């Protein structure tokens, strides 16, 4: 039986959110459109045509939501800043957007909650996408200026920063597969987007640290344990490639190791976009990395996939327990990923900045009995503990997410929250998992 205190006094417990998924108020106070505002208008892109114009109306209801975070005894609140509330189309600063985030930050501090800020959680301004977005190298200076504005206005109170959220996902899904905003496809979009995101990742870190030397500066990575379907050398080779793509592509350049070109030869196409000095520019000595883990992936060799010759075997084909996202429930994945990232010499500190699950939740008589989520969180947190026990420098854990929200292309269907959101009335109901997390944090509930 493991209790909160076993993790130590300094271990950071929290909950994570993201601007576009919760805020709503899509054009209020002169907010300009982001690529997601534009993408959600396009036909056939989002489950049932859902959009996030209202989402959880966090823009207006944040006092109530922060009160709930406090009432659940969650000490750390992670949220992201929306570039499109902060920067106007003429690149000037939108004071109303600044005022909104000041209200959030001050609202956290007044309640004794520690604010953790992500600078970029996927919502680049649409007018910048029209100039090429992440495929245009000018983004390094656009992004740099935005980061400096954030540091300047919020750095007096925000002590924990994350430059980016899951660059592999927003470049892979948004610029290679076309299933996320801005809906571009193919390597000719992906490779430059990848390179510029990598440069921005480090550039953002440098600018934050320069302006806020006392702050803790990190960035986050999506990751999943990748295993071969069996131990034949061809499948093992496929697993190495997919692991390089999903788990190493963004962290290794930041550690000064360059892109994993040896394992994914197609990455050599990046040379076309590299300038002298880029190898050094891609590196930054982050104070911490954020690990975001949900599932495990199984890889196999495939002739059908040109260039990579590797593919994933979906969880539905494997007869394993899955979540509503069709992601395998596999708690050991988080342990393995912490071990993998902890083994990089230059990684100093790790926070699990996201982990959670979407299940079929039903509100009955004012209650959501989400037993499967409680078990999921219990089992994953126990694996985090195991990693910590083995000396891996993992020093925090944040649940994804506070309340059911807009799950990107999946719309409102998957519910990931500790709190149930009624999207018609904006009523919130704390799920059993929310109470379970509270009891765990208050030392009344132990991990099983």
Active site residues: 166, 354
35 Cβ contact list (under 8 Å, min separation 6): 122, 123, 124, 125, 126, 129, 133, 174, 181, 182
CA distance 104 to 108: 6
Give the binding-site size for ligand NOJ (rule: CB under 6 A): 9
CA distance 238 to 246: 12
With contact defined as beta carbons under 8 Å apart, do 289 and 325 qualify?
no
Closest approach of ligand NOJ to the CB of residue 417, in Å: 10
Query: Which of 301/431 has CB closer to ligand NOJ?
Result: 431
Closest approach of ligand NOJ to the CB of residue 165, in Å: 5
Q: Which of 161, 400, 420, 436 binds ligand NOJ (CB under 6 A)?
A: 400
Closest approach of ligand NOJ to the CB of residue 19, in Å: 10
Closest approach of ligand NOJ to the CB of residue 235, in Å: 27
CA distance 360 to 362: 7
Enumerate residues 21-50 that contact ligand NOJ by CB under 6 A: 21
Query: Which of 21/34 has CB closer to ligand NOJ?
Result: 21
CA distance 257 to 100: 39
- Maximum Cα–Cα distance for the chain, whole Å? 63
| β partners of residue 5 | none
Query: Which of 22/283 has CB closer to ligand NOJ?
Result: 22
Instruction: Report CA 371 to chain centroid distance, whole Å.
Output: 24
User: According to the binding rule CB under 6 A, does residue 297 interact with ligand NOJ?
Assistant: no
Query: Which of 55/66 has CB closer to ligand NOJ?
Result: 55
Cβ neighbours around 179 below 10 Å, total: 15
With contact defined as beta carbons under 8 Å apart, do 149 and 108 qualify?
no
Query: Which of 36/153 has CB closer to ligand NOJ?
Result: 36
Please give the full DSSP string across 318-362, using - where no structure is assigned.
Answer: TT--B-TTS-B--THHHHHHHHHHHTSTT---EEEEE--------
Residue among 9, 16, 117 nearest 437 (CA)? 16
Instruction: Report CA 260 to chain centroid distance, whole Å.
Output: 22
Q: Which of 216, 354, 361, 370 binds ligand NOJ (CB under 6 A)?
A: 354
Residue identified by tokens 């196999």 is 300
* Tokens, residue 298: 């199984």
* Tokens, residue 385: 């503990």
**Per-residue x/- track, 415-434, ligand NOJ (CB under 6 A):** -x------------------
Query: Which of 57/166 has CB closer to ligand NOJ?
Result: 166
**Per-residue x/- track, 162-191, ligand NOJ (CB under 6 A):** ---xx-------------------------
Please give the full DSSP string across 112-134, using - where no structure is assigned.
Answer: TPEEEEEEESS--BHHHHTTTGG
With contact defined as beta carbons under 8 Å apart, do 158 and 117 qualify?
yes
CA distance 353 to 290: 5
Closest approach of ligand NOJ to the CB of residue 400, in Å: 5
**Per-residue x/- track, 255-294, ligand NOJ (CB under 6 A):** -------------------------------------x--
Residue among 22, 78, 25, 32 nearest 55 (CA)? 22
Residue 64's H or E segment, with its range, is helix 58-71
Q: Which of 129, 216, 407, 445 binds ligand NOJ (CB under 6 A)?
A: 407
* Tokens, residue 124: 């680049």
Enumerate residues 324-343 that contact ligand NOJ by CB under 6 A: none
Q: Which of 4, 7, 13, 18 binds ligand NOJ (CB under 6 A)?
A: 18
Query: Which of 166/278 has CB closer to ligand NOJ?
Result: 166
Closest approach of ligand NOJ to the CB of residue 325, in Å: 7
Enumerate residues 129-168 that contact ligand NOJ by CB under 6 A: 165-166
Closest approach of ligand NOJ to the CB of residue 218, in Å: 14
Closest approach of ligand NOJ to the CB of residue 354, in Å: 6
Query: Which of 40/165 has CB closer to ligand NOJ?
Result: 165
Query: Which spans of this chain sit near ligand NOJ (rule: CB under 6 A)?
Result: 18, 21, 165-166, 292, 354, 400, 407, 416
């Amino acid at each position: 039986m493991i209790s909160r205190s076993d993790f130590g006094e300094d271990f950071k417990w929290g909950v994570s959110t993201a601007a576009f998924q919760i805020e709503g108020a899509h054009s209020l106070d002169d907010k300009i459109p982001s690529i997601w505002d534009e993408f959600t208008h396009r036909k056939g892109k989002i489950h049932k045509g859902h959009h996030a114009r209202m989402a959880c109306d966090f823009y207006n209801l944040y006092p109530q939501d922060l009160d709930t975070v406090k009432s659940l005894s969650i000490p750390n609140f992670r949220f992201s800043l929306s570039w499109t509330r902060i920067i106007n189309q003429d690149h000037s600063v939108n004071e109303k957007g600044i005022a909104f985030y000041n209200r959030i930050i001050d609202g956290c501090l007044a309640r004794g909650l520690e604010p953790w800020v992500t600078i970029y959680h996927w919502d680049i301004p649409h007018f910048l996408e029209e100039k090429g977005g992440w495929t245009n190298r000018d983004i390094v200076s656009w992004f740099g200026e935005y980061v400096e504005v954030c540091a300047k206005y919020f750095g007096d109170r925000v002590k924990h920063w994350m430059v980016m959220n899951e660059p592999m996902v927003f470049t892979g899904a948004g610029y290679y597969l076309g299933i996320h905003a801005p809906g571009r496809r193919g390597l000719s979009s992906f490779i430059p987007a990848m390179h510029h995101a990598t440069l921005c990742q480090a550039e953002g870190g440098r600018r934050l640290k320069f302006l806020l030397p006392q702050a803790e500066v990190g960035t986050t990575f999506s990751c999943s344990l990748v295993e071969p379907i069996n131990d034949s050398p061809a499948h093992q080779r496929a697993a190495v490639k997919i692991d390089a793509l999903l788990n190493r592509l963004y962290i290794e350049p930041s550690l000064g190791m360059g892109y994993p070109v040896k394992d994914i030869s197609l990455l050599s196409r990046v040379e076309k976009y590299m300038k002298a000095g880029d190898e050094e520019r891609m590196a930054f000595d982050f104070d911490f990395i954020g690990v975001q883990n949900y599932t495990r992936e199984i890889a196999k060799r495939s002739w059908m996939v040109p260039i990579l010759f590797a593919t994933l075997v979906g969880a539905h084909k494997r007869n394993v327990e899955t979540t509503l996202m069709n992601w395998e429930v596999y708690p050991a994945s988080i342990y393995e990923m912490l071990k993998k990232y902890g083994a990089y010499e230059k990684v100093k500190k790790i926070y699990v900045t996201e982990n959670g699950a979407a299940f079929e939740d039903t509100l009955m008589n004012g209650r959501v009995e989400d037993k499967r989520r409680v078990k999921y969180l219990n089992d994953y947190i126990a694996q985090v503990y195991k990693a910590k026990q083995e000396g891996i420098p993992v020093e925090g854990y944040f649940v994804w997410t506070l309340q059911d929200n807009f799950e990107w292309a999946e719309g409102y269907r998957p519910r990931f929250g500790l709190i149930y959101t009624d999207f018609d009335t904006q009523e919130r109901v704390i799920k059993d998992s929310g109470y379970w997390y509270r009891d765990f944090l208050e030392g009344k509930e132990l991990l099983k």
